[in-house]
């Protein structure tokens, strides 16, 4: 992002206004991501504050191999993990179980009843009713799935940026994203009576 490159140049020159712009642009996203790693909002705020201090101290060492946003999120994730509050471990794919219940498919492996697309939600009240349900469902996901879904679908990072931030492979990212999205879809379907 060209604006981020300009901010980076100003930050390196000690421009406090540039730092304030950067904080306004990314602080809320960083809090949402940190909250996925730690047990409370207060700890998330500490992690984000510590991340900003790391950015100020390390801005001259930033080499620009990734975007400024990716670099910020990588620092954040590393700081959140080092708090020791949340232990993470990756499970082999076969240990995670099926993503979708087998009863949802016919004998040929096709959907018995295809899932309804989310894009069809026209009613604003229904969409607003989904927000707390999705937050609860997102919080209930296994940690790695929640991290990937949050970075991809909430924060809008690309697949390669998520892999870079979380230090995972592209294949692992795809599996975690698919499983996380499937669990969220199933939660919504159950809530709105789409699953029998």
- Give the confidence band of 104 by pLDDT, cuts at 50, 70, 90: low
Tell whether 60 and 98 lie within a shared domain. no
Regarding whether 63 and 41 lie in a shared domain, the answer is yes
Over residues 17-31, mean pLDDT: 91
Task: Report how far residue 147's alpha carbon sits from residue 154's, in angstroms, rounded to the nearest whole number.
Answer: 10
Same domain assignment for residues 57 and 135: no
> What residues make up the domain containing 162?
93-191
Buried b (16+ CB within 10 A) or exposed e, 72-100: bbbbbbebbbebeeeeeeeeeeeeeeeee
Q: How many separate domains does the chain show?
A: 2
Higher pLDDT, 129 or 177: 177
Q: Is residue 196 part of a domain?
A: no
Cβ–Cβ < 8 Å for 121, 130: yes
Q: Same structural domain for residues 30 and 103?
A: no
On whether residue 88 sits in a domain, the answer given is: no
pLDDT grade, residue 74 (50/70/90)? very high
Across the chain, mean pLDDT equals 80
pLDDT exceeds cutoff 90 at 52: yes
Spatial neighbors of 121 by CB under 8 A, at least 6 apart, are 127, 130
Cα 87 to Cα 59: distance, rounded to the nearest angstrom: 28
Specify the range with the lowest mean pLDDT, choosing from 16-20, 106-110, 160-164, 169-173. 106-110
In this structure, are 21 and 103 located in the same domain? no
- CATH number assigned to the domain comprising residue 124: 1.10.10.10
Q: Global pTM?
A: 0.63
Residue 87 lies in a domain: no
Does residue 121 carry a pLDDT above 60? no
Q: Are residues 67 and 14 in the same domain?
A: yes
User: 50 versus 91: which is more confidently predicted?
Assistant: 50
Q: Tell me, yes or no, whether 33 and 104 share the same domain.
A: no
Average pLDDT over residues 118-142: 72
d(CA 172, CA 89): 12
**CATH code, domain with 37:** 1.10.1740.10
- Residue 64: which of 134, 9, 125 has the closest Cα? 9
What pLDDT does residue 151 have?
Answer: 92
Q: 57 pLDDT exceeds 70?
A: yes
Q: Residue 38, SS3? A: coil
Last residue of a domain, one of 59, 82, 105: 82
- Structure letter (DSSP) for residue 83: T
> Where a domain ends, among 57, 82, 107?
82
Claim to verify: residue 112 and residue 54 sit in the same structural domain: no
């Amino acid at each position: 992002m060209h604006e981020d490159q300009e901010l980076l140049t100003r930050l390196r020159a000690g421009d406090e206004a540039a730092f304030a712009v950067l904080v306004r642009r990314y602080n809320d996203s960083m809090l949402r991501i940190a909250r996925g790693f730690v047990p409370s909002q207060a700890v998330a705020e500490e992690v984000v504050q510590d991340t900003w201090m790391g950015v100020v101290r390390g801005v001259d060492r930033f080499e620009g191999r990734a975007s400024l946003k990716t670099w910020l999120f990588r620092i954040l994730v590393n700081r959140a993990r080092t708090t020791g509050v949340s232990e993470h471990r990756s499970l082999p794919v076969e240990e995670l179980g099926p993503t979708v219940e087998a009863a949802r498919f016919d004998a040929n492996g096709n959907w018995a009843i295809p899932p309804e697309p989310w894009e069809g939600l026209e009613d604003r009240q229904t969409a607003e009713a989904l927000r707390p349900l999705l937050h609860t469902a997102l919080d209930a996901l296994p940690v790695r799935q929640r991290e990937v879904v949050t970075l991809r679908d909430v924060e809008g990072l690309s697949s390669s940026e998520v892999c870079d931030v979380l230090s995972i492979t592209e294949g692992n990212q795809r599996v975690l994203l698919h499983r996380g999205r499937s669990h969220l879809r199933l939660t919504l379907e159950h809530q709105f009576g789409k699953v029998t």
